[in-house]
Structure formats: C-alpha cells, structure tokens
Amino acid sequence: MVNDTNQNSARQKVVERIFRIIATSCAALILMTIVGILIELFRGASLSIRTFGLSFLISQQWNPVIQMFGAGSSIFGTIVTTLIAMILAVPMSLILALFLTEIAPPIISRVVGYSLELLAAIPSIIYGMWGLFVFAPLMSKFVQPLLGKVFGFLPLFKGSCMGIGMLTAGLILALMILPFISAVMRDVFLMVPPVVKESAFGMGATTWEVTSKVTMRFGAHGLIGASFLGLGRAIGETMAVTFVIGNDHKISLSLFSPGNTIASTIANEFTEASEPLYKSSLIELGLILFLITLTIQILAHFWLKRIRKAVGNI
Amino acid sequence: MKSRSRKSRVLLDDTIRILSCLIAITSIIALVWIIYEVAMRGITAINFSFFTHLPAPPGVKGGGLANAITGTLAITALATIIGIPIGLMAGVYLSELGKGTPFGSLVRFFTSVMMGIPSIIMGLFIYSIMVVTFGSFSGYAGAVSLAVIMLPIIARVTEDMLGLVPSSLREAALALGAPGWKVTLGILFRASKSGLLTGSLLAIARVSGETAPLLFTALNSPYWVKSLSSPTANLTVTIFNYAMSPYPEWQRQAWGASFLITMTVLALTILSRLIIKEVKR
C-alpha cells in the first residue's frame, strides 16, 4: 500500500516535470521563432548582401533583366507612405482617444470604441479591395484634381490623377492604423490617475488644457509607445498597400505617382522571382523590413512598459 | 504662464471637442462604408455554384470558389490545431511557471514584440524553412505560417486570463495535494475557459483574413484540395489574384470572396466580444 502511493507520487513527479518542460519549451519557441527569422533571412539574403553590399540600401536600380537590384525606391516609398499615415493618424488618434475618455458620454464612447475594434478587425486585403475599387476612383475624380488645383505649385501635388499611388496608399494606411493607435492611447489616458486630472479641472482648466498640459505630459511615454506601435504596423502593412500603390520602381516627388514599398515589392514579385539573386534581393528587403519593425516594436514596448511602471501597473 | 482670455481658451476647447466628434463620426462612416461596399458588391457574386463549383476560366460565366473555400477552411483549421495548444502552453508558462523570472520577462516582452512583426515576414520565414526544405509550396506551410501568427496572440490572452483566476483557487487545489499540471489543466483552464475561448476566436479571426503569409507558402491552385502537401487553393490569395486580373467576372468573384471573409471575421470578432461580456458579468 505504502509502496503503491510512493510509486504513484513518483509518477506524478514525472508527469509534473514533463508538463513543465512542455510549457517551458512552448515559451522558448517564441524566442526561437524570432531568432530563427533573423537567421533564415540573413541566410537567404547572403547572396544579395555579398553581391551588392551596402549600396543595395540606396541604389534605385531594380531590374530583373540585367539582375541589378537596389532597395532605394522601396525604402523611399515605405518612408513616404508611412509618413503620410503617421502625420494624419497620430493627431487624429490622440483626439479620438480624448473623445473616448473625456468628451463622449459613456454609451457613445462604447459604440465608437466598438466600431473602432471592428475597423481594426477587418483584414488588410479587404482594405485593399475597397481602396482599389472604391476609394482610388474617388481620389482620381475628386480629391487629386482638387489638391492639384489648390496646392499644384508644390511638386508634391503635381502629375496625373490616376487614383492609385503613394498618397492613396498613405491615406488607407492612416485609416488602418487609426484604431490601433487610438485604442492604446485610450488605455494610456485611462492610466493617468484621476486625482491629477481633477486637480487641474479644479483650477478651472478646460478639458483640452487638462489633456495637453497634464494628461499628455503624464502619459508621454505611453503616447510615444502607442505611436510606435502604429508606425510598426504601417511600415509592415502589405496587402492594402500592394493593391493601391501601383507597384512602380521609380522615385518621384509627386505623391500622386505610383511607387512601391518594401512589403508590396516582396508580395508582388516573390513568386515570380526565379533567379537566385532576384530571390535573395527580395529576402534582403524582408530582412531590412524585419530589422526595422523589430527595432520599432522593441522601442514601443519599452516606452509602454515605462508608463505602466510609472502608474504602478505591473 | 501666459494668460489668455477665458473666451479664447473656451473657443479652443470647443474646437477640439467638435474636431473629436468629427473624427469619431469619420471612423464610423469608414466602417459602415467598407462593410456596405463589400456587402453590395459581394452579394451579387454569391450563389449556389459559388459554394459548389471550381473556378471558371476567364471569360466563361459561372463557376465558383468551392476549392478555395475548402482550402481556407482546411488551412485555418490546421493552423488552429497547431497554434492553440502551443500558445496555451506558452501562456501557462508566462502566467504560472515563469512569473517573475528573467526568462519569463524576456519571453513576455518578445511575445508582445512578435505580435507586431509584419505577417509577410512570417511568410518569408516559413517559405525558407518549409517550402525550400521540402521543395514545394504546400498547404501545410500555409497552416504553419498562420499558426506562428496565432502563437503570440494566444499566449498573451492565456496569460491574461489565467492571471484573472484568484490565487486562492490555486492554493486550495495545491493544499489538497493536486500536482501543478492538474491545477492548471483541471482548475485554471476550467475557471477561465470563456476567456480562453475568446482569445482563440480572436486569433482565428485574425488569421482567417491573412493573405501575405500565404502568398509564398500555400500559394494558390485552381483545383480541388486533394492534399495539403501541394499548393492549396485559398480565398485570400484568390482575392488578390482575381482583383488584379483584367476580367470583370473574376473581379466579381473576388468581391464574393471578400464578402465571405469579411462576414466571417466580423462574426468571430463580435462573437468573442459577446462571450467576454458574459464573463465580465
């Protein structure tokens, strides 16, 4: 009998140990995936890195016929579209988060919050369909001619109004990251201790004054973190951009002209790339994208961690 | 501090208020507009043969996306089978075993980071470890790439949900002599099953609309899904290919597929919201 329970408890210990090993290795798998991505992309890109060296980063050549590749135009397009998206989405998200936390009555805040959640859930490819078939025609018919008329003296708004192009891609990106940034910013606003805000209100400050001078200062790290999360998403966004950017390897000052981003180039050309150097160049583009987004994510979470620590939440 | 007249301060405040309302309205309009367009254009493509037939060649009327629908179902189901158990166990580690340890914090940090890695990178990664290794595009590779995307989502939700279970419950079970694995599987999972279900549904919703990771893993195919070891038809890559084609009939089918995907994703998202509401009550 005693022997039996001893055996039983020994078995239990083994089961417990196996359980712990499984859980730990599943957790380790997450780290291994990130390291694995880094190794695999470096391996895949090595041919291109050896062939083109650092000039890959700035060269605007992208010619499969003569096997010359450079990431210049893709990096340029990524920066331009992301910049448009961030310039629009960050201030809008800030004000939207303010609306959700301070301005709107609870019921309306819940409804708007709910629709933002759904907006965030819509897959990227659906934004692409909508962008290509619904939004781009509107851009070419109304928005671009109007911008051309008013700001046509700037090189940014010159050129033919085709609808697709970097401006359209930037606008759709802005719409896509708006729900993400505003959701995180709302959480940051909610973390600010009410007593801090109330004392400012008690001094006779208006809602905007409390927000800009108290809440935003208090939550600055969190707001930066939120913006970085949106930035990471905008840079890596693939399908929506691929649909509307026009996929042209040219650098043009005009926002109306078609372009390409790192992600859109990979999505468009990877399956067609049969030559090893072509494929390797595309993987190097992927490596660049991975390193950029990894850095941005690390910074974003670093900042968000700081604000959580500041308010004593974890 | 600069002193400004009360009037200008209130004016600025009102401007911001009005602006905030406008932005909120814009975001709702955008949501309704997208859903409306997808529904209006998609519904005309949906009919009986859409669910039962193979795609028709360009120019030929009719045909359906039955193969892509079954392919997407198969790939997503396999991704769920792979992704959820691993994600759950990683979440158990984060919440129960690795809490407060340096390795636990490291994994937690990189789980958040991994959620923000673009899905096309996951596609490239699985391409190089599976497609290149086995020499063929395959539905399996597609499923694994989706599973990798689900992994951090499930892990984080699991950690959060297990964290909500009161520790008195754990202590009570441990005091009765129950081993750790029994406490976790029998008590913690049971206590937080609605939360875990929500997380799983959200993760499934997230990956069922993914396109970029399937582009160079599952690829696409105009044929029936016979096995997942060869290129496998799926809805999202079909949308991409058809939308970029010059044939109106194909573009119409792409809208039909978009409609199907959008409704599925929104339904899963709303369902998960309803479950979590029930839990909170």
Pick the residue of B31, B38, B82, B138 with the most A CBs within 10 A to test the interface with A by mutation: B31
The residues that bridge with A246 in the sheet, in sequence order, are A259
A277, A47 contact by CB (below 8 A): yes
Amino acid of residue B166: P
Sign of CA dihedral A234, A239, A244, A249: positive
What is the overall mean pLDDT for chain B? Answer: 92
- Beta bridge partners, B62, equal none
Cα-based distances in Å from B239 to A125, A240, B42: 8, 12, 12
**pLDDT score at B256:** 96
pLDDT top residue among A197 and B267: B267
Q: What is the pLDDT of residues B210-238, one digit of tens each?
A: 999 999 999 999 999 999 999 999 999 99
Contact B124 A112 (CB under 8 A): no
The predicted structure's pLDDT at residue B63: 85
- Residue B54 is given by DSSP the state P
DSSP state of A275: S
CATH number of the B50-280 domain: 1.10.3720.10
Consecutive H or E run containing A63: strand A62-63
- φ, ψ (nearest 5 deg) of residue A117: -65, -40
For B1, name the nearest residue in chain A, comparing CA atoms only: A213
Judged on CB neighbours under 10 Å (0-12, 13-18, 19+), A270 is buried
Rounded Cα distance between B110 and A114, Å, is: 28
Q: Is the pLDDT of residue B204 over 70?
A: yes
User: Tens of pLDDT along chain A (314 residues)?
Assistant: 456 667 777 888 899 999 999 999 999 999 999 999 999 999 999 999 999 999 999 999 899 999 999 999 999 999 999 999 999 999 999 999 999 998 999 999 999 999 999 999 999 999 999 999 999 999 999 999 999 888 888 888 888 888 899 999 999 999 999 999 999 999 999 988 889 888 999 988 899 999 988 889 988 999 999 999 999 999 999 999 999 999 889 898 899 999 999 999 999 999 889 899 999 999 999 999 999 999 999 999 989 888 888 776 54
The partner residue sitting opposite A232, judged by closest CB among B9, B110, B116, is: B116
Burial of A244 (0-12, 13-18, 19+ CB in 10 A): buried
Compute the distance between CA of residue A132 and CA of residue A145 in angstroms, rounded to an integer: 18
Q: Could you tell me which residues are beta bridge partners of residue A68?
A: A63
Q: How many residues does chain B have?
A: 281
* Whether B16 contacts A95, CB under 8 Å: yes
Sign for the pseudo-dihedral over CA of B85, B86, B87, B88? positive
pLDDT of residue A1: 47
The phi and psi torsions of A254 (rounded to 5 degrees) equal -75, 130
Q: Which residues of B touch A243 (CB under 8 A)?
A: 243-244
Q: What is the DSSP string of A251-307?
A: --S-TTS-B--HHHHHHHHTTT--SHHHHHHHHHHHHHHHHHHHHHHHHHHHHHHHH
Q: Lowest mean pLDDT of A301-305, B57-61, B161-165, B245-249, name the range.
A: B57-61
Q: Rounded to whole angstroms, how far apart are CA atoms A270 and B212?
A: 11
The CATH architecture to which A73-310 belongs is: Orthogonal Bundle (1.10)
- Predicted pLDDT of residue A314: 44
Q: Is residue B281 pLDDT above 70, yes or no?
A: no
Q: How many CB atoms lie within 10 A of CB B36?
A: 12
Q: What is the pLDDT of residues B119-148, one digit of tens each?
A: 999 999 999 999 999 999 999 999 999 999
Mean pLDDT to the nearest integer, B5-26: 92
Which pLDDT score is estimated for B3? 61
Whole-angstrom CA distances from B180 to A14, B100, B107 are 12, 17, 21
What integer pLDDT is reported at residue A308 of this predicted model? 83
Tell me which residue in B21, B34, B120 faces A266 most closely, judged by beta carbons. B120
How do beta strands A68-69 and A62-63 pair? antiparallel
Closest B-chain CA to A130: B34
Mutate: best of A129, A178, A266, partner B, most B CBs <10 A = A129
Q: For residues A127 and A176, is the Cβ–Cβ distance under 8 A?
A: yes
Residue B42: predicted pLDDT: 94
